[in-house]
Amino acid sequence: GEALWGLGAGDEKRDRIEAIAADQDENILLVGGFEAAINFGGEADELLSEGRHDIFVVKLDAAGEHVWSRRFGDAAEQYPFAVATDSSGNVIITGEFEGTLNFGADPSTALVSAGRKDLFVAKLDADGNHLFSRRFGDALDQYATAVAVTGADEIVVLGVANGAINFGEEPGTALTGTGDANVVVAKLDAAGGHLWSKRFGSVDSWQRFRSIAVSESALYAAGAFGGILEIDGHVVESSIDGETSGAGGSGGGGGEPIYGIDGLVVRFDLASGSLVWARPLGAAGEQYAKLVSLGLDGHPVVLGNYAAGFQIGSTEIEHPVAGEYDLYLARLDAEAGEPLAARGFPSAGDEFIWGLSQDPWGNHVLSGYFTGSLALGGAPIAVGAPASGDAFVAKLSPDFSEELWSDVYRDQFYSFISAQAVTASGNTVAAGLFFGERIELGGGLPPLEHTAPARDYDNGDVFVVTLSP
């Protein structure tokens, strides 16, 4: 976990790195949004927004040197949420946009929103040139939350749809549903053509999914839900916290159930899109499956938050302080979804996570921020007063039993990690925001100075740090 290199960027308005990917040559791809100006290179590399949030895509080499930067967007709102690379070093980006969005140099490649937010998928080559881009959605809101690339360079997209959405070109491939914020999953070929797509969610459920992982034969998705949710004819029901007033009064029977929020991990067949299994993780209260990744043994690993104790398999996940959000890790059997291992990490205050990856040796890298203390197996680390939250990156052993290292990034005000990736050689690249006057990266690197007015929650500066295995 020694800091190898770091950099900072930002201006007076909101900037954020949303996702990171590393290609086969260990080049680093950063995607995010910015409102004014941002620069990851020299003077000639500054990007200027045309209005509200624009998209930036930045390529750095393995040593953190700037290779190229691109800006996309018009005066309306455009924002990316995910990035991946394929076997040729091409860059796949997905997110949401309003107005007009053009990833190419020709007006014919422009995407025009059908009304409010539309979902986009774009592919750039290794030099940042446009290969294809596609828009999906109707006059309501649709947006992407995650993207993954298969071994055959096919593209899998996870997103949200409020109206109708069609990932194909025929009326028969249109996806419609009921309720708000339905989950959509689509598999596209390497050129963006439709292979399969599906949708789930209804007026009887609440659901949020933001993470996917793929193996040779499986697609895993992680999220949370409340109520009764049907996926491919399979019904899952979240835990019940109580009931509304019925004939006998509150809790007296005859009322409607009050559903809690449970984590949910699902496996789809990668070739056909059919559901293989769905595994709720939860009990009364709130539990979330935030992120899923593929372990070295081929089993999915889940990282989540919980605000009430629950059980995963035979493991009790304890939660000693009511009202606080703690972390848990779980490994599920790839074939049936049964829990294989789990561990909770109760700490003082709240801990929230934005990253989960595995290194080449099967260790787990996680990142986010904490507001009280961080206890992942070693001695608890307290947040640096007077900060309201500190960013962290940590590495745990394959069986979750040992904290191998943890790094905390302090600015004496508020900082958090927003994205991470692990390279083929095992280095961890993490990015986040800091709002204090300066942030320490460690490893003998100079601190990063805040370029905008500090100590303002609306003016965070971006930082990137790469850590040794």
Burial of 12 (0-12, 13-18, 19+ CB in 10 A): middle
Question: Domain extents for the chain?
Answer: 204-244+258-346
User: pLDDT-derived band of residue 249, with 50, 70 and 90 as boundaries?
Assistant: very low
Burial of 339 (0-12, 13-18, 19+ CB in 10 A): middle
Let me know: does 355 contact 364? Beta carbons within 8 Å.
no
Nearest alpha-carbon partner for 181 in 96, 74, 301: 96
User: pLDDT-derived band of residue 193, with 50, 70 and 90 as boundaries?
Assistant: very high
Strand 28-34 vs strand 15-22: parallel, antiparallel, or unpaired?
A: antiparallel
Average pLDDT, the chain: 94
Residues sharing a CB contact under 8 Å with residue 266, sequence separation 6 or more, in sequence order: 220, 221, 231, 275, 277, 278, 279
pLDDT in tens, 69-104: 999 999 899 999 999 999 999 999 999 999 999 999
Q: Give phi and psi for 10, each to the nearest 5.
A: 155, 170
pLDDT of res. 246? 66
pLDDT in tens, 53-71: 999 999 999 999 999 999 9
Residues sharing a CB contact under 8 Å with residue 1, sequence separation 6 or more, in sequence order: 393, 395, 404, 405, 406, 407, 428, 467, 468
pLDDT of res. 251? 53
**Three-state SS string across 167-224, please?**
CCCCHHHEECCCCCCEEEEEEECCCCCEEEEEEECCCCEEEEEEEEEECCCEEEEEEE
Q: DSSP letter at 44?
A: G
4-18, 190-204, 256-270: segment of lowest average pLDDT: 4-18
CA 275 to chain centre: 22
pLDDT in tens, 428-468: 999 999 999 999 999 999 999 998 777 887 888 999 999 99
Positive or negative CA dihedral for 107, 108, 113, 118? negative
Quote the pTM value.
0.95
pLDDT in tens, 109-141: 999 999 889 999 999 999 999 999 999 999 999
Spatial distance between the Cα atoms of 450 and 460, rounded to a whole number of angstroms: 8
Whats the size of the chain, residue-wise? 469
pLDDT in tens, 203-246: 888 999 999 999 999 999 999 999 999 999 999 999 998 888 76
pLDDT in tens, 348-376: 999 999 999 999 999 999 999 999 999 99
Spatial distance between the Cα atoms of 223 and 209, rounded to a whole number of angstroms: 4
Could you write out the DSSP letters of every residue in 379-429? Answer: S-EE--TT-SBEEEEEEE-TTS--EEEEEEE--SSBEEEEEEEE-TTS-EE
Let me know: does 147 contact 129? Beta carbons within 8 Å.
no
Task: Give me 255's structure tokens.
Answer: 């009322």
pLDDT: which is higher, 202 or 353: 353
Residues sharing a CB contact under 8 Å with residue 467, sequence separation 6 or more, in sequence order: 1, 2, 3, 4, 393, 407, 427, 428, 429, 430
Summarize the confidence of residues 335-348 as an average pLDDT.
96
Task: Give me 180's structure tokens.
Answer: 């708000």
Summarize the confidence of residues 6-13 as an average pLDDT.
87
- Give 51's Cβ-side CA count (13 Å radius): 13
